Amino acid sequence: MSGPRRTSVLMTEDEALDLVRDGMTVAIGGFNTAAHPMMIVRGLVRRGIRGLRVIGSAISGLDLDLLIGAGVADEVVTSSVTGEALVSIGPFFRHAAESGAIRVWECDEGIFYAGLRAAGQGLPFLPWKAGIGTSIPELNPQLKVFNDPFTGEELLAVPALRPDIAFLHVARADRYGLAQHEGSGFGDRALFRAAARTIVTTERLVPNEHIRADPAKTSIPYADGVVRAPWGAHPFSSPGHHLVDEAHLNEYIQAAEAARKGDRSAFEAYLERYVLGPQSLLEYLEVIGLRRLHELEEWA
Amino acid sequence: MPDGFELDELMCVLMAREIHDGDWINHGAVVPLAGAALMLAKHTHAPGLEFFYLGTEFNSVSPAVTDLGRLMTEPQLACSPSRGLMSHYDIMSLTLRGGADLQFLRPVQIDAVGNVNTSIIGSREAPKHRFHGIAVADAMVLVGRVVLYVTEHDERVFPRELGYRTGTGHVEGGAWRERIGAPGSGPASVITPLCVMDFETPDRRARLRSVHPGVDVDQVVAATGFELVVPDDVPSSDPPTALELDVLRTVVDPLATRHLEFKQLRRDAQERIAAAEAARA
């Protein structure tokens, strides 16, 4: 978050991806099976970005799983990587954690938000009260037990989680970076406050007058970049716009589960068809096809 | 299971009975057995129950839809009609202040005093098994009553020693919670496919409260890795009433989404839910 301005921050998909360097700390917004900025996620894989510390949403979906499976992430910060009812734990997340291929910054949702809030307020850490009496500090040595200087009570210190850049998918935004969510978007706001820079991909690019007509809905005041990205969250849902594409997620899960068990061929084919082949959001949507998109567009 | 009900129904009913009228409960969409218990309680003995619903798209307070399957397949119903949206962050804050009366939790491992492990077994760098993660287990220290449940009952689930302790039960046993001033009273019970345990002993060690119909005490003891306190008389778990079964089957969870939490029933449940979605599309 870097403050108000009145100049256009519109950028292209490629300009947004140009901001990411190997080894950065990158936050990927959304929640569960909703509104992950998948245009960016696929772009990071396509460009062969490596060594990222990825801060997921409080409950990450298979967006993080893909980044792990494609070798983009070295470390993940999230309470869980899940496909909800479809698969309780991301196949690549599980496999890479068990083989030691990634580091997992063990936390729950509360610890996650405490770290983001510390960053958002420019603090080195914030205290967290849950977890006392547990061995969580052994699982995550960056969490330190300390004593309240006033009462002596034991607390956990959660260090600030500072994304170099956060990517969020929103329902609408104007050219100046004023963005609005449909649905809650509460986790995205926390990532925005914590991150040095925030780029939103937006379902609809709207005139500033539309934002002004309903200012209470503005959830991200002044993103640092706005990329027009209708269907940019597919295969996840985009609240207010379209449903989750469960058939596609199941296709991914089957390929990823096979890879976890040693046969990467279906996953390589998945990557080629959906991630490495299409060179832009538009080319990706052509692969998905109008028929599928049409089916997802309304609440049945 | 005898007497015209299934094990998942019995477990769900036993979990529902742990809820008191007027409780505030945090609930996540991914645990429909707990969800069905919550809805069942609300529509039988606990109409004053209110809950935070951590949905896949919306986080809200007490969505009005009574059918869990619809909440799962039509996520917008978690938002409207509901009492209002509430952020995930706010619910964590409220819980931190001791605002949650009851929490259901399904850990990977549970020890003799109700401490739990939800994250990994093996070394931190390359664990033998990676599970879901802390979830909200660390908040166990702050929640009024914690109802633990598992859908498998063996020595791996109930070991002598945990891999890691990601949630506190009664820690070393005895009055640990009172000593550190924990606002809640900690684990109240454990519902398993074989029995119900509680911690109603002086040193807060797990005690066998009841065994399910058709299960005998020796079977439970043999399947439990730690030493279980076994009273002289262990009653049979109270079976579901006709009303409880009817509400569960017809109002609260007609799609039996609760089966997602049972390994053997999961695949069929997924197909059933997908078919229900397709039928509406």
d(C-alpha B122, C-alpha B108), whole Å: 13
Asked whether residue B250 is assigned to any structural domain, the reply reads yes
End-to-end, the C-alpha distance of chain A in Å comes to 37
Phi-psi region of A191 (alpha: psi -120 to 50; beta: other; left: phi over 0): alpha
Asked whether residue B88 is assigned to any structural domain, the reply reads yes
The strand pair at A165-173 and A179-180 is best described as antiparallel
pLDDT at position B81: 85
How far is residue B247 CA from its own chain's centroid? 19
Domains in chain A (CATH in brackets) are 13-106+162-296 (3.40.1080.10)
B128 exposure class (CB count in 10 Å sphere: 0-12, 13-18, 19+): exposed
Number of domains in chain B: 1
SS3 A194: helix
A133 touches chain B (CB under 8 A): yes
Angstroms from A224 CA to nearest CA on chain B: 24
Contacts of B55 in chain A (CB under 8 A): 32
Residue pointed to by tokens 């509901």 = B82
d(C-alpha A9, C-alpha B31), whole Å: 42
A177 exposure class (CB count in 10 Å sphere: 0-12, 13-18, 19+): buried
d(C-alpha B141, C-alpha B149), whole Å: 17
Contacts of B138 in chain A (CB under 8 A): 108, 110-111, 130-131, 134, 136
pLDDT at position A300: 47
Asked whether residue B1 is assigned to any structural domain, the reply reads no
How far is residue A143 CA from its own chain's centroid? 23
Mutate to test the interface with A, among B33, B56, B125, B273 (most CBs of A within 10 A): B56
pLDDT digits (tens, 9 = 90+) for B50-92: 998 887 777 888 888 888 888 877 877 888 888 888 887 888 8
Sign of CA dihedral A220, A223, A229, A233: negative
pLDDT digits (tens, 9 = 90+) for B143-174: 889 999 999 999 999 999 999 999 999 988 88
From residue B32, give the alpha-carbon distance in Å to each of A256, B72, B106, B119: 25, 9, 11, 20
Q: Kindly give the parts of chain A with pLDDT less than 70.
A: 1-3, 298-300
pLDDT at position B274: 83
pLDDT at position B273: 87
Instruction: For residue B232, give its domain range.
Output: 7-280
Contact residues for A48 (Cβ-Cβ < 8 A; gap 6+)? none
Number of residues assigned to chain A: 300
Sign of CA dihedral B257, B261, B262, B264: positive
Sign of CA dihedral A75, A79, A80, A81: negative
Angstroms from A7 CA to nearest CA on chain B: 31
A104 touches chain B (CB under 8 A): yes
Judge: A104–B57 Cβ closer than 8 Å, yes or no: no
pLDDT at position B2: 57
Q: Domain of B15: which CATH number?
A: 3.40.1080.10
pLDDT, one tens digit for every residue, chain B (281 residues): 557 999 999 999 999 999 999 999 988 777 899 999 999 999 999 999 999 888 777 788 888 888 888 887 787 788 888 888 888 788 888 888 888 999 999 999 999 999 999 988 888 888 888 888 777 788 888 888 999 999 999 999 999 999 999 999 998 888 888 888 887 788 999 999 999 999 999 999 999 999 999 999 999 999 999 999 999 999 999 999 999 999 999 999 999 999 999 999 999 998 898 888 777 66
